[in-house]
A and B are shown apart, each in its own frame.
Chain A
Amino acid sequence: MSSFENLSLSQRIAALEAAEHGDMIPAEQVRELVAAVKEMFGQEGDKPNTTEKLYHELGELAKFINNAKKELHEVKGSSIAEEHLPNAANQLDAIVNMTEQATGRIMDECDRLTMFHNDLRERLIAMDPPLDPDGLAGVEDAINQAATSITHIFEACNFQDITGQRVQKVVRALQEIERQVLRMVVVFGLLENKDKLDAETAAELQEDAALLNGPQLSGQGLDQDEIDSILSKLL
């Protein structure tokens, strides 16, 4: 290792500047200096600036959310997929509706069972000749136990309301995350792509960013195709 190599970059430059005109500078020292300068500028030159890096991270996040929504949409083998719901939030809404309908059917059947039990009790009491009192008491006891079980089924149906409320919270959180990420993608995208975008596309994107600025109301804001369009223009 030469003594020149042990010097800092500025010391190496100073040593070369101090050389008298006509002095021969060893090729090794020049190579080392060039390598050191290249290394220093190469490291910084390869590093994207923070804004650009953040923009790409956000872009990846937006694409991930968008793809996840599409994958959810493409789930086959259930009536959810058959209904061709447009996005994940709608799918979660559909789950709430489906569990509500299923719970309703369970409760309908419980009501029917109660009706059958009451009918059975009346028929047994009205039998002629009358049933043996012990036998009748045994049947009555069984009917009461069945009624208790039906009550427990109704109690268990609480789950639908609880899960429904929690899913609604997830839906709202998903919508908000998606809106915020998309808004950032558009804002960063306009900055990063200002030289590439034509005036019309930039104006459209600015309009989209404005739409994403506030909470999305039902029937307003951007639909799936519009979101895809924004991502395709920028990413």
Chain B
Amino acid sequence: MSVDRNMRILVVDDAQTMRRIIVNLLRQLGFTNMTEADDGTTAWERLNGEHIDLIISDWNMPKMTGIELLKKVRESEKYKLTPFIMVTAEGKRENVIAAVQAGVSNYIVKPFNAATLKEKMTKVIGMF
């Protein structure tokens, strides 16, 4: 089954620059349906307001961090199986373990490039 390039992707990061980079790289990879949130709280509202197929989130954010958002997402009936990729500068072993224990689908350490994003996306949603 081929990946739906029109899948709804939520990009969560408090840095507008990083959101733009991720959205642009996703566009380069052929994805067309992205939405953004600048922290975990806004992302959670967005998740409850519409259907999201994939979440790409930063770790360090005000109000609600990426790991807190991940835990909420995994506790939710609606999103407990939704792919969740953590994109963060936090490359410490304990962070990766904490994210895996919370149910992250994959983990990207900043800085990253389009090839890394594609590789991780492929592992999470299949070949595209």
Q: Is the CB of A107 within 8 A of B28?
A: no
Q: Is the CB of B21 within 8 A of A157?
A: yes
A100, B18: Cα distance in complex, Å: 10
Number of interface residues of A (CB under 8 A): 19
Q: Is the CB of A165 within 8 A of B60?
A: yes
B72 on the interface (CB 8 Å rule)? no
Q: Is the CB of A147 within 8 A of B28?
A: yes
A221 on the interface (CB 8 Å rule)? no
Partner of B89, one of A107, A147, A161: A161
Q: Is the CB of A161 within 8 A of B114?
A: no
Please indicate the chain A residues that have their CB under 8 angstroms from the CB of B17 in the complex. 100, 103-104, 107, 157, 160-161, 164
| Per-residue contact bits, chain B 19-33, to A (CB 8 Å; 1 contact, 0 not) | 011001100100000
| Per-residue contact bits, chain B 27-51, to A (CB 8 Å; 1 contact, 0 not) | 0100000000000000000000000
A4 on the interface (CB 8 Å rule)? no
B98 on the interface (CB 8 Å rule)? no
Q: Is the CB of B110 within 8 A of A162?
A: yes
* Majority DSSP secondary structure for residues of A touching B: helix
Partner of B15, one of A110, A111, A164: A164
Q: Give B63 Cβ to nearest chain A Cβ, in Å.
A: 15
| CB closest chain-A residue, reference B112 | A158
Please indicate the chain B residues that have their CB under 8 angstroms from the CB of A160 in the complex. 15, 17
Q: Give A165 Cβ to nearest chain B Cβ, in Å.
A: 5
| CB closest chain-A residue, reference B13 | A161
Please indicate the chain A residues that have their CB under 8 angstroms from the CB of B112 in the complex. 155, 158
A152, B25: Cα distance in complex, Å: 10
Q: Is the CB of A162 within 8 A of B25?
A: no
Segment 146-169 of A: residues with Cβ below 8 Å from B: 147, 151-152, 154-155, 157-162, 164-165
| Per-residue contact bits, chain B 52-91, to A (CB 8 Å; 1 contact, 0 not) | 0000000010000000000000000000000000000100
Q: Is the CB of A158 within 8 A of B24?
A: no
Partner of A161, one of B18, B24, B28, B113: B18
Segment 71-104 of A: residues with Cβ below 8 Å from B: 100, 103-104
| CB closest chain-B residue, reference A155 | B113
Q: Is the CB of A151 within 8 A of B111?
A: no
Please indicate the chain B residues that have their CB under 8 angstroms from the CB of A162 in the complex. 89, 110-111
Q: Is the CB of A155 within 8 A of B110?
A: no
Not counting A157-B17, A165-B60, a sample of 5 additional A-B residue pairs whose C-beta atoms are within 8 angstroms of each other reads A100-B15, A100-B16, A110-B24, A160-B15, A161-B110
B residues with a Cβ closer than 8 A to A are 13, 15-18, 20-21, 24-25, 28, 60, 89, 110-114
| 6 nearest CB pairs, A to B | A158-B111, A155-B113, A161-B18, A154-B24, A160-B17, A103-B17
Can you list 25 A-B pairs, Cβ within 8 angstroms, ordered by A?
A100-B15, A100-B16, A100-B17, A104-B16, A104-B20, A107-B17, A107-B20, A107-B24, A110-B24, A151-B24, A152-B113, A154-B21, A155-B111, A155-B113, A158-B110, A158-B112, A159-B111, A161-B13, A161-B15, A161-B21, A161-B89, A161-B111, A162-B111, A165-B60, A165-B89
